[in-house]
Amino acid sequence: MSNFAATITIIIVVVGAIGLILKKNLLMKLLSLSIVNTATILFFVLVVYRPGDRAPIGPETVSQYADPLPQALVLTSIVINFGVLALSLLFTMVLVKRYHTLDLGKIEKFVKEEFEEEKS
């Protein structure tokens, strides 16, 4: 099971990373980033999954229950990923309002020009 989990995770992370590096569009970069983030969540779910596990709440007589630690962990990381995504969308919005483009190469060029202009 865990080999399967590792393989799936590596494939999805690589797909996301390729998108992050090769795509010039900022929104596509954010999409790729959230693919990578989702892959980590999938990884945790697959790693701790055992058939026949019960929820770790209820009467103490349940013998085989799911490990509660990764669940707490995944919940927290989902929230953090949400925050990161919201913040990066905000930043993208500011950049688009300023330069009217999503192309990162152009944005980098404009930013450099503007910085040199302001500080000289």
Partner 1 sequence: MIGLLAGVTSYIFAGILSLLFSRYRYWFSLLGWLGASSGLAWSVILFRDSGPVISSLGSWGKLGIDIKIDETTLLFASLVVALNLFTLLYLRGRREGTFYALYNFLLTSVYSVAFAHDLFNLYVTIEFMSLVAILLIGYERKAYQIYAGAKYLLISSLAMSLYLIGLGLVYRVGGYLRIGELARSLEGNTGFSLTLGLGLMVAGLAVKGGIFLFSMWLPDAHSYSETVVSALLSGMAIKSGLIGIIRLSELVDWGQLLLVLGAVTGIMGALFALMSDRPKKVLAYSTISQVGYILLGIGTGTSAGILAASLHLLFHGLFKALLFLSVGAAGVGGKDISGAEDLSLPFTSKAGLLVGSLSIMAIPPFNKYFSKALLAEQVNQEWVWLVMLAMGLGTAMYTLKLNWALIVESRTEEFSKNDPSVGAFTVAVALSGFVAWVMLGTTNTVHLFALNHLAVYISIPLVGGLVLLGFGKRFSELSPPSFPFKLDNAMISLFFGFVLIEIILLIV
From first CA to last CA, the distance across the chain in angstroms is: 60
Smallest separation (angstroms) from partner 1 to the CB of 60: 14
> 109, 95 in Cβ contact below 8 A?
no
Q: In 3-state terms, what secondary structure has residue 25?
A: strand
112 token code pair: 């450099």
Running DSSP on this structure, what letter comes out for residue 61?
A: T
54 or 90: CB nearest partner 1: 90
Residues that bind partner 1 (CB under 8 A): 2, 6, 9, 13, 17, 20-22, 26, 29-30, 33, 36-37, 39-40, 43-44, 47, 68-70, 73, 76-77, 80-81, 83-84, 87-88, 91-92, 94-95, 98-99, 104, 107-108, 110-112, 114-115, 118-120
